[in-house]
Amino acid sequence: MNNENKSIHDFDLQMICNFFSTMERQGPGSPEMTLKALGFVDHLTKNARIVDLGCGTGGQTMTLAQHIEANIIALDSFPDFIKILNRNAQGFNFQERVKGLVGSMDNLPFQENELDLIWSEGAIYNIGFERGLKEWRKYLKTGGYLAVSESSWFTDKRPTEINNYWMDAYPEIDTIPHQVAKIHQTGYLPVATFIFPENCWTEHYFAQKALAEQTFRHQYAGNKMAEEFMLSQRYEEELYAKYKAFYGYTFFIAKKIDL
């Protein structure tokens, strides 16, 4: 890739994506949680229309494909992730029914009332939880499902340090009852809600990040921005260890109903 004429922001993004591209998943989660959420989705036939938005390199897409017969379109805005996903799909021999697509979740290439299932793990925050719920609803058939994971507060009050961190990173983080209310208000039936266990963070995310860091360290040796990025990643992990009683990831499964 040619880095000439790229803004610092673009370079930054490319660097961050390089870091995450060696990982099986780019956010907290696990195959067990993906399957648990899938267990709440009824009536998926072989002809079901399924999309995975903000799929990353497709860790959860492959888990879904192993348990669903239908075709899956996996969409992400970062082309390198989609390349890796399509390569992995071939590796699993899923290339006929799992297709990675470069695109943006705020401008989806689908028809209204077309989809049976919209999946999105750790990605809806990119357009915001409520906006995602509202905008994606039209693509679902009535009775179609939405399964998304999102960060949640576990308590009404929390220490200033962690509150400030999230207000800066993603101020739309909210308590689970408020998030369920948003699901209800935007035209869905809340079907199930469950919190990710700690191993989704420690074993499936932070431990994988530590491995990714080894490669990254070589790739970006002497790069100041990369150093800063690694420090910020370590800070995120420290915060989780210290404040995990106050926040975490929640899976929300909901069904589109007529308003």
Considering the rule CB under 6 A, would residue 77 count as an interface residue with ligand SAH? yes
- DSSP state, 27? S
Q: How far is the CB of 142 from ligand SAH (least distance, A)?
A: 25
C-beta closer to ligand SAH: residue 230 or 245: 230
Phi, psi of 230 (to 5 degrees): -65, -35
C-beta closer to ligand SAH: residue 165 or 170: 170
2 contacts: CB under 8 Å, gap ≥ 6: none
- DSSP state, 205? I
CA distances from 209 to 77, 160, 250 (A): 21, 26, 21
Q: Beta-carbon neighbour count of residue 54 at 10 Å?
A: 25
C-beta closer to ligand SAH: residue 116 or 121: 121
Considering the rule CB under 6 A, would residue 41 count as an interface residue with ligand SAH? no
Long-range contacts of 98-101 (CB under 8 A, 24+ apart): 98/58, 98/61, 98/62, 98/65, 98/71, 98/72, 98/74, 99/71, 99/72, 99/73, 99/74, 100/55, 100/58, 100/74, 100/75, 100/76, 101/73, 101/74, 101/75, 101/76
Q: How far is the CB of 212 from ligand SAH (least distance, A)?
A: 13
Q: How far is the CB of 54 from ligand SAH (least distance, A)?
A: 3
Is residue 167 helix, strand or coil?
A: helix
- DSSP state, 199? G
C-beta closer to ligand SAH: residue 60 or 186: 60
Site for ligand SAH in 149-168 (CB under 6 A): none
User: In sequence order, what are the beta bridge partners of 76?
Assistant: 102
Distance of CA 39 to the CA centre of its chain: 18
Q: How far is the CB of 159 from ligand SAH (least distance, A)?
A: 26
Task: By CB under 6 A, name the one of 16, 19, 29, 41 that touches ligand SAH.
Answer: 29
Considering the rule CB under 6 A, would residue 25 count as an interface residue with ligand SAH? yes
Residue closest to 33 by CA, chosen among 134, 161, 173, 150: 150
C-beta closer to ligand SAH: residue 125 or 243: 125
Considering the rule CB under 6 A, would residue 60 count as an interface residue with ligand SAH? yes
Which range in 43-51, 73-81, 84-92, 164-172 contacts ligand SAH by CB under 6 A? 73-81
Per-residue binding string, ligand SAH, 104-143, x by CB under 6 A, is: xxx--------------xxx--x-----------------
C-beta closer to ligand SAH: residue 122 or 144: 122
Considering the rule CB under 6 A, would residue 26 count as an interface residue with ligand SAH? yes
Distance of CA 78 to the CA centre of its chain: 13
Q: Catalog residues that contact ligand SAH under the rule CB under 6 A.
A: 25-27, 29, 54-56, 59-60, 75-78, 81, 104-106, 121-123, 126
